[in-house]
Structure 1
Amino acid sequence: MALSSLLLPTLLLLLLLLLPNASAFFHNAHHRAHHSDAAHNYRDALSKSILFFEGQRSGRLPPGQRLRWRGDSGLSDGSAMGVDLVGGYYDAGDNVKFGFPMAFTTTMLSWSVIEFGGLMKAELPNAKEAIRWATDYLLKATAHPDTIYVQVGDANKDHSCWERPEDMDTPRTVAKIDSSSPGSDVAAETAAALAAASIVFRRSDPSYSKLLLGTATRVFEFADKYRGAYSNGLKSFVCPFYCSYSGYQDELLWGAAWLHKATKNPTYLDYIQANGQTLGADESDNTFGWDNKHVGARILLSKAFLVQNVKSLHDYKGHADNFICSLIPGTSFSATQYTPGGLLFKMGDSNMQYVTSSSFLLLTYAKYLTYSNQFVSCGGVTITPRKLRSIAKRQVDYLLGDNPNRMSYMVGYGASFPQRIHHRGSSLPSVSAHPARIPCSSGFSALNSPAPNPNLLVGAVVGGPDAQDRFPDQRTDYEQSEPATYINAPLVGSLAYLAHSFGQL
């Protein structure tokens, strides 16, 4: 022992002399050790953010279902129309399957895996399973040419009940788009979802990947050929829940961007170049979510320029920079409100979806900029990739507990988290605990009860606090207390990056 301790300094000195990069190695090792002391267990949060999707499953649950308080539901969906629409996800705390947000959720889960799946280790199979649960359903919904089934369930009647999905007795009305009642928005988003997922499964399941991509191509052609917003023809079904407020142009650009990435077919690049401006490529909107995809398309297309060196997409770097600059506090381009506690704030209803989607875009764009050794210029102020990562980390840390309320907004993560989320299945006793059916109106006593939810929807991220960082944790307050699949989907990628960067994966 004494001899080895004497030799060690000599060996280190020799190593420094012999290896020109040895000093950098030791610096980096120290850097990694210093930064491994993370404020949060991002790996645990990642695992839970993916587990949440199992609580949102519709259909016949598989043997590997981990949230055991959930049971089979919606097993006859589509049968009245002579189609099989069993499966997919409930979007939030209700029992309706809305195709528009489900497709966006699928696209963002897939993008999370495309960018950061290589860092996910043991969680990668779970993330891919979450994607497949959605794509299996989307393949059913698009099985008939020039027709897409975009909703299962009457939202108005569903919202007049408070019942478990396993007990559903509200009408499972099916809504569809076709050539006579088009929906370019939901169709192009569905094409984006299938195209993005095809990349995820390209190596692990080539035949499934090919099926997804072939369907995506066909669905996008339908979206582009028969143009119109789906909420025009289906207003009574989809509004005010998931109206297409931003129109369908953003989805056509987004769908084309994903098909360009998935196929490398130059016809999609030609389409983007010919139609980009009319589809809103350079509009100044800076809100990215289930309704407006412009910003996401700009970031995705900037990758083709920054990483793949597709020169013709040079302008998208500028378009992406404009969005980034709008998020940076203190710059002349800043157009984003933050709460006193530091949370990005877009709107009172389900604000956390914009926090998770913007954080994902910041980390993803930082990755592209780093690869190409570039930065963002905001009116003469240079914004580095490191700055983008720090802003994204601050948002995720706020979500996980670094906030004035000292609570996590992810159910089951941390010592303090929401106890009364606006979610039927979580708030009512499970079928195993209460085998007898709970009728439509009987469940409202649970909705109005001050008691904590009996079933933990682990990983669910709620709508979040208001503009003053206040969060009452009331089940009736759906704007702040309701979780949604599209809140979690982009968070999966951010948590994978953070868990890896802090040595937790």
Structure 2
Amino acid sequence: MSMASSSSNCLFGVLTLLLLVVAECNPVNYRDALAKSLLFFQGQRSGRLPPDQQLKWRSNSALFDGRLANVDLSGGYYDAGDNVKFNFPMAFTTTMLSWGTLEYGKRMGPEIKEARAAIRWATDYLLKCATSTPGRLYVGVGDPNVDHKCWERPEDMDTLRTVYWVSPQNPGSDVAAETAAALAAASIVFRTVDPTYSNILLRNAQKVYQFAYQHQGSYSSSLRSAVCPFYCSYSGFKDELLWGAAWLFRATNAVYYYNLVKSLGADDQPDIFSWDNKYAGAHVLLSRRALVNGDKNFEQYKQEAENFMCKILPNSPSSSTQYTQGGLMYKLPDSNLQYVTSITFLLTTYSKYMAATKHTFNCGGGVLVTPNTLRSIAKRQVDYILGENPLKMSYMVGYGPYYPKRIHHRGSSLPSLSAHPQAIGCDGGFQPFYYSMNPNPNILLGAIVGGPNQNDGFPDERGDYSHSEPATYINAALVGPLAYFAATA
């Protein structure tokens, strides 16, 4: 071995040691990440902003949503980096925020108030959608095909705010059952802190679910280009019917919903969980009765939940999940982190259920799964998102020293009203701002972007929406795991 080689090896060893020391000195701050993950929702608010709004670069927007149908549909959330309100992903976001609060609320500390506020901002809007016009469920505001041709602040929006709805004649069992799930899950969140509001949520969840079940059909077929290809219901609506019935059963404990769950028959057993495909979530939710309550009637769902886990675990014989060299779960090229956060939620939650009864299971091939097996994989995913990856890049905006600076988000990438009072029209934002290499002027704190590619690479380009665009449902699913690890770190 040459002297140069020896000294370079020595230098490499010292650098490695330094990196380890730095890593030890800078442990992942789950509590900070939790606070920021919830703050993000303030940046997505539509409607009249409250006095306690903390992200001050946002202002009131879309105050007259619903006017084209003579109703008030102001409020709710913009789904991602655009200025459209799509209720299908918004309702899923609400269900996941509610589930996270139910499972991990006691670990959230002061952030429990922010979690409830984030949920209520959505449920107030969803209630308007469910109750404004008899025989209709409003399911979105804003023409996505027009909106996506513009790059303008939500505060300046001058595109047509088309109103979309489903009805007995044009059904949408998927979006209706997801809306019912959101209202039912939220009703449990508010049961003790605001019983009157909780009762309103539950009553409307039951009505909306009845509509979904009685008038079966996909909203993609009814609304076509208004929701496709953006949020097509690719998995059909049976998963939402199961998911909605499962949440109503959890909220009411009524035999009626138990029978509905059972009547929906054999399920698909996918290896994914997302705003579109709810089967795995429903199985984990229902498995709680078998694991925590020892109810044998729910054994089927425990088995289905464990089949799902075996498809996720990297060393399982039935695994169908890829991992990058850096250790990130990799499902699909477009906005992969949405699947990572949703699946991570199921991993921590099922681990929690298992730990309650010291349960273990086997994936075959001698692969024994303990609560810690699932917890470790979940923690690896959360830590990767927060910067423990080959690029040392946090994929949560504003967390850690290195994070995405040019996210695909209209409000974040355009100057605020206070910095630029003049209106910026539909085309006005492209040349000076969208195509600029400068960092976004407004930091959308807590936003989790679509994430790296399968090679752990991330270009941080505004136009690369598959990787650089945040979305409400990416964040909503990670709130629970962040609270879990914040309390156990």
TM-score using structure 1 length: 0.91
Contact 1:163-1:425 within 8 A present in 2 as well: yes
Equivalence for 1:30:
none
> What is the SS of the residue equivalent to 2:174?
helix
Match of 1:159 among 143, 148, 166: 148
Equivalence for 1:63:
51
Q: 1:375 & 1:324 partners in 2: Cα distance?
A: 12
Q: 1:450 & 1:483 partners in 2: Cα distance?
A: 18
Q: 1:122 & 1:443 partners in 2: Cα distance?
A: 38
Q: After the TM superposition, list the runs of 4 or more consecutive aligned residues in structure 1 that deviate by more than 4 angstroms.
A: none
Equivalence for 1:451:
438
2:255 is the counterpart of 1:255? no
* Superposition deviation, residue 381 in structure 1: 1.8
Equivalence for 2:103:
115
Contact 1:103-1:190 within 8 A present in 2 as well: yes
Equivalence for 2:461:
474
Identity %: 61
* Superposition deviation, residue 327 in structure 1: 0.9
Equivalence for 1:487:
474
> What is the SS of the residue equivalent to 1:314?
helix
1:215-264 CA distance string (max 9 Å, x none): 00010000000000000010020011000000000000000000000001
Equivalence for 1:21:
none
* Superposition deviation, residue 146 in structure 1: 3.2
1:46-73 CA distance string (max 9 Å, x none): 0000000000000000000000000000
2:340 is the counterpart of 1:355? yes
Match of 1:402 among 385, 388, 391: 388
Match of 2:227 among 238, 250, 271: 238
Q: 1:455 & 1:38 partners in 2: Cα distance?
A: 26
1:157-193 CA distance string (max 9 Å, x none): 0001000000000010001000000000000000000
* Superposition deviation, residue 38 in structure 1: 7.7
Q: 2:345 & 2:114 partners in 1: Cα distance?
A: 19
Q: 2:107 & 2:332 partners in 1: Cα distance?
A: 32
Residue type of the alignment partner of 2:83: N
1:423-482 CA distance string (max 9 Å, x none): 000000000000000111010121111000000000000000001111000000000000
Equivalence for 1:320:
305
* Superposition deviation, residue 37 in structure 1: 8.2
Equivalence for 1:341:
326
* Superposition deviation, residue 498 in structure 1: 0.4
Gaps spanning 5+ residues in structure 1: where?
1-35
* Superposition deviation, residue 39 in structure 1: 2.3
* Superposition deviation, residue 274 in structure 1: 1.9
TM-score using structure 2 length: 0.94
How is 1:346-425 mapped onto 2 (pairs within 5 angstroms)? Answer: 346-379=331-364, 380-425=366-411
Q: 1:471 & 1:408 partners in 2: Cα distance?
A: 11
Match of 2:265 among 276, 279, 286: 276
Q: 2:296 & 2:357 partners in 1: Cα distance?
A: 13
Match of 1:137 among 125, 133, 138: 125
Over 3 Å counting, the alpha-carbon distance change for 1:146 and 1:305 in structure 2 is: farther
Equivalence for 1:176:
165
Contact 2:269-2:280 within 8 A present in 1 as well: no
> What is the SS of the residue equivalent to 1:227?
coil
1:267-291 CA distance string (max 9 Å, x none): 11111112232xx2xx231110000
Equivalence for 1:288:
273
Moved more, 140-149 or 404-413: 140-149
Equivalence for 2:5:
none
Q: 1:190 & 1:310 partners in 2: Cα distance?
A: 28
Residue type of the alignment partner of 1:305: A
Over 3 Å counting, the alpha-carbon distance change for 1:37 and 1:451 in structure 2 is: closer
Q: 2:159 & 2:444 partners in 1: Cα distance?
A: 23
Moved more, 425-434 or 327-336: 327-336
Q: 1:127 & 1:472 partners in 2: Cα distance?
A: 32
**CA-atom RMSD in angstroms:** 1.0
2:80 is the counterpart of 1:95? no
Residue type of the alignment partner of 1:459: G
Contact 1:400-1:414 within 8 A present in 2 as well: yes
Q: 1:84 & 1:343 partners in 2: Cα distance?
A: 43
> What is the SS of the residue equivalent to 2:356?
helix
Residue type of the alignment partner of 1:213: L
Q: 1:399 & 1:66 partners in 2: Cα distance?
A: 24
Match of 1:430 among 416, 419, 428: 416
> What is the SS of the residue equivalent to 1:473?
coil
How is 1:77-92 mapped onto 2 (pairs within 5 angstroms)? Answer: 77-92=65-80
Contact 1:184-1:228 within 8 A present in 2 as well: yes
How many residue pairs get matched?
A: 463
Contact 1:77-1:84 within 8 A present in 2 as well: yes
Residue type of the alignment partner of 1:233: S
2:308 is the counterpart of 1:331? no
Contact 2:242-2:261 within 8 A present in 1 as well: yes
2:127 is the counterpart of 1:127? no
Contact 1:98-1:150 within 8 A present in 2 as well: yes
1:305-345 CA distance string (max 9 Å, x none): 11123221111111000000011112211110111111000
Residue type of the alignment partner of 1:77: D
> What is the SS of the residue equivalent to 2:405?
coil
Q: 1:370 & 1:183 partners in 2: Cα distance?
A: 38
Residue type of the alignment partner of 1:44: D
Contact 2:315-2:367 within 8 A present in 1 as well: no
* Superposition deviation, residue 372 in structure 1: 2.1
Q: 1:425 & 1:152 partners in 2: Cα distance?
A: 18
Q: 2:25 & 2:462 partners in 1: Cα distance?
A: 35
Q: 1:97 & 1:247 partners in 2: Cα distance?
A: 21
Q: 1:339 & 1:420 partners in 2: Cα distance?
A: 24
> What is the SS of the residue equivalent to 1:151?
strand
Equivalence for 1:29:
none
Contact 1:253-1:276 within 8 A present in 2 as well: no
* Superposition deviation, residue 304 in structure 1: 1.4
* Superposition deviation, residue 376 in structure 1: 2.4
Residue type of the alignment partner of 1:493: G
Q: 1:146 & 1:44 partners in 2: Cα distance?
A: 44
Q: 1:223 & 1:66 partners in 2: Cα distance?
A: 37
* Superposition deviation, residue 145 in structure 1: 3.6
Q: 1:381 & 1:229 partners in 2: Cα distance?
A: 40
* Superposition deviation, residue 79 in structure 1: 1.0
Residue type of the alignment partner of 2:334: D
